[in-house]
Amino acid sequence: MVQLSSVAAQIARLSANSLSGTGGIGAYRLSDLTDFGSNPGALSARFYVPAGMVAGAPLVVVLHGCTQTAGGYDHGAGWSQLADELGFALLFPQQERANNPNLCFNWFSPVDARRGSGEALSIHQMIMAMRARHRIDTDRIFITGLSAGGAMASIMLATYPEVFAGGAIIAGLPFGAARSVTDAFARMRGDGYPSDAELAAAIRHASDHKRRWPRISVWQGSADQTVAPSNADRIVASWRIVHGLPDEPTQRIVTGGIRHERWSNAEGEAVLEAYDIAGMGHGTPLRTTGPGGCGASGPFMLDVGLSSTRQIAQFWDLGDGIPSADTGIDPDRAAPFEPAADARASSWAGTRPATVGAVIADALRGAGLLR
């Protein structure tokens, strides 16, 4: 059997060669955060504070996906652009190749997926350092992530719920989904899940939190072939149970292949929402041009005419920040997103030869980690 170390080395070389030139784009906007604690997860950290930011500003924590860097993800998603407009601070935890050769956060590792340990504790320490050094409003701290970063956002929201007012999970996985690499690939396919009630119980038991739970935004493309769309259903169901919400959403809007559902609590506050984008593959939904354009398209950064960055900020009440009070959808792009248009941006999709995903999958199959 192929050794795991050789697979890791192959993945690292592949990632560096396939995405060279993207990792550092936008990195000049970010500064290094140092001396933030014991850092048991051995992560690095970057941050952005817009000029003139006032004391008591919100903080958004942004977690990149596999093969990405903090600067590259910021460039694509446009978070620092929106921070300039709305006046909030940003924290970008960043994975290191020594921890994961494909730059994935280790959401499937038990030591990194629990309170007070590993990568989860490192991210918490970064947040506490940012909160103290930049006089952040402790009631307005939020977290979002894509893919493995989305799975790590799920972990942080479950293990440190008292820290966050809200979270957004993009093409990610629910808390309690996996405890090994084998589990991780099964769950990414949507296989072998515990019940929704068990997933909700895992969130409740991840800390001793008894107060208000964070509001949650969930994003998924229907044509995602890296993280099965059923994972978004599991995330929504588990948080719906935690929040004590009914099965049916309070509001459902379908516009041009984009389904948006919201659940409100007994006080009428929207505390859970879900976006399903027809035909979209694996990545962060963007609207890069026109009124409210934000970010830049690229690998895993998909221009579908809807800015998840702006919509998430609105859901968190960070500011209006979107071109339409109804949906924020670009009417010129409000049509089902064709999978073919996703070919360049989502190198994980389908069975196309010579893609990053195809080679990684072959390497993992050779190592016996993927069927």
Q: Which residues are catalytic?
A: 147
Nearest to 42 by CA among 115, 102, 117: 117
Residue keyed to tokens 């119980």: 201
CB distance 113 to 107 below 8 Å: yes
User: Are the CB atoms for 52 and 110 separated by under 8 Å?
Assistant: no
Q: How far apart are CA 206 and CA 172, in angstroms?
A: 18
Residue 213 DSSP label: P
Helix pair 308-315, 79-86: axis angle to 10 deg: 40
Q: Are 241 and 181 in contact (CB under 8 A)?
A: no
Provide the 10 A C-beta neighbour count for residue 37.
12
Q: Parallel, antiparallel, or unpaired: how do β-strands 59-63 and 89-94 relate? A: parallel
Q: How many other C-beta atoms lie within 10 A of the C-beta of residue 185?
A: 17
Rounded to whole angstroms, the Cα distance separating 40 from 52 reads 33
- CA pair distance 185, 66, nearest whole angstrom: 14
Residue 210 CA to residue 72 CA, distance in Å, equals 37
Which structure tokens are listed for 231?
């994972």
Degrees (nearest 5) of the Cα angle 261, 328, 169? 50
